Amino acid sequence: MKKIEFFRHGIEEEELQRLREVLESLFITTGETVYEFENDLAGYLDLPHTVAVTSCTAAMQLALLAGGVQPGDEVITTTLTFIGTPNAALMTGATPVLVDVDRGTGNIDPEAVEAAVTEHTKAIMPVHLYGQMCDMDALRAVADRHGLFIVEDAAHSIEAKWNGKAPGHYGEYAAFSFYATKNITSGEGGAITVRDEKQYELLNMLRLHGFNQLAVDRYTSNYEKYDIGMFGWKYNMDSIHAAILIEQLKKIGDYGERRREIFERYTEAFSAMDGIELHTTRPEAEHAYHLLTILVDPARRDAVMNGLQKRGVSVSINFVPIHQMTYYRERFGFEDGMFPVAEEIGARTISLPLYPKLTDEEVEYVIDAVSETVGSV
Ligand SMILES: Cc1ncc(COP(=O)(O)O)c(C=O)c1O
């Protein structure tokens, strides 16, 4: 039987070569290699600055803090996301306020966001789900009407655009993930985009204990006694991860092309199959093709998942809604039925393998396995 992994990364000779150079150099923590990656990423996104950190969760937490979120504030986000999104709000002492999603795309519903605004709301955290950006015009309008700022969770959407603009152009901040299964990866890692100069300086300090000078800067200039004027975290990216990401970013165009081919082949095949529904795409959105999810009968979803795994096809669920997680139920009193659209998607969804290394033969194997399984369970 074939085994089709859920993801296989593309780290090869170029990354290994760059890693060797870094490992043979003096500075393996934050330094020139990290700055180089930050500049490359900012250039790719057409934004002035990025700040490299250890995860997207850390990126979101720091962006919320930089924007002024404090304990007791509310941050509105979607219930159909990874746990890191609402947890980033919790880590600031704020309360994550969950809302429902749009049935077609699975993205946060701007009208639900508007309805959830209270006098305590400080920020909105939209999640660009599966690779498709949220309706950023509608969300920007809600934020501006109520004096809120936006942190875009772009963990799935580094290549995505809304009306031709990348994440970070509509929101004050956007957060990216370089976790092991993301479109470009270094195992773990994250980055924040920021347009405001003062905020950029603040984020640099927040990521490293409030230091306004990194070890490399202290080394290259004369050592001076330092002081700490503010509280910060220990989330700075090191040069080892940055070395991998510099090379990964160079491949993003080729990766995207192959992802698009596979996504389109899947879409063509599954659109013609009974018992399968696909998410819709908006004309304003350029897709990052991060996840291909199919929606099946909720009563048979788990049987379909097991059938696929028996045929060697690895699958995932993106996502079980946050309000259905025990911790969130117990802490915030969430109940089933509160966000019916997200619940329906969460009960019907299955994510299939989608990555550049997948061969045409493997793609056809997945399609056949889905066809057989959906037709027989
Ligand atoms: C939508 C979304 N947001 C946030 C994250 C968190 O990313 P990280 O693991 O880099 O903190 C993920 C990670 O898988 C994700 O899928």
Whether residue 244 is contained in a domain is answered as yes
* Percent of the chain at pLDDT exceeding 70: 98
What residue has token string 């990866």? Answer: 185
- How much is the pLDDT for 218? 60
Assess whether 266 and 199 both reside in one domain. no
Q: Are 56 and 177 in contact (CB under 8 A)?
A: yes
Q: How many helices (H) and strands (E) does the chain have?
A: 14, 12
Query: Could you identify the atom of ligand 1 that is nearest to the CA of residue 188?
Result: 10
Distance 220 CA to ligand 1 centre (A): 35
Distance 58 CA to ligand 1 centre (A): 10
E strand spans, 72-180: 74-78, 95-99, 121-125, 149-153, 161-162, 173-177
- Mean pLDDT computed over 2-28: 97
Assess whether 232 and 258 both reside in one domain. no
Assess whether 129 and 213 both reside in one domain. yes
* Angstrom distance (rounded) from CA 252 to CA 269: 26
Q: Are 321 and 285 in contact (CB under 8 A)?
A: no
Average predicted confidence (pLDDT) for the chain: 96
pLDDT at 95 over 70: yes
Assess whether 37 and 82 both reside in one domain. yes
Distance 1 CA to ligand 1 centre (A): 32
Per the structure block, which two tokens stand in for 300?
Answer: 């048979």
In short, whether 179's Cβ falls inside 6 Å of ligand 1 is yes
Whether residue 153 is contained in a domain is answered as yes
Contacts 24+ apart (CB under 8 A), 200-204: 200/48, 200/49, 200/51, 202/66, 203/51, 203/62, 203/63, 203/66, 204/51
User: pTM of the full predicted structure?
Assistant: 0.97
Assess whether 38 and 104 both reside in one domain. yes
Amino acid found at 336: D
The verdict on whether omega for the bond into residue 319 sits within 30 degrees of 0, i.e. cis, is yes
* Predicted confidence (pLDDT) per residue in 334-371, tens digit: 999 999 999 999 999 999 999 999 999 999 999 999 99
- Mean pLDDT computed over 92-119: 98
* Angstrom distance (rounded) from CA 286 to CA 131: 9
Assess whether 200 and 54 both reside in one domain. yes
In short, whether 85's Cβ falls inside 6 Å of ligand 1 is yes
CATH number at residue 276: 3.90.1150.10
Ligand 1 pocket test target in 7, 54, 57, 132 with most atoms within 8 Å of CB: 57
Assess whether 345 and 238 both reside in one domain. no
CATH number at residue 115: 3.40.640.10
Query: Could you identify the atom of ligand 1 that is nearest to the CA of residue 181?
Result: 14
- How much is the pLDDT for 216? 61
- Concerning whether 165 is annotated as a catalytic residue, the answer is no
In short, whether 54's Cβ falls inside 6 Å of ligand 1 is no
* Angstrom distance (rounded) from CA 99 to CA 186: 32
* Angstrom distance (rounded) from CA 185 to CA 199: 26
Q: Which residue range forms the structural domain that includes residue 36? A: 13-250
Measured in whole angstroms, how far is the alpha carbon of residue 57 from the centre of its chain? 9
Assess whether 214 and 265 both reside in one domain. no
When divided into structural domains, the chain yields a total of 2
- pLDDT band, very low/low/confident/very high, at 312 (cuts 50, 70, 90): very high
* Predicted confidence (pLDDT) per residue in 185-225, tens digit: 999 999 999 999 999 999 999 999 998 766 566 666 677 77
Whether residue 240 is contained in a domain is answered as yes
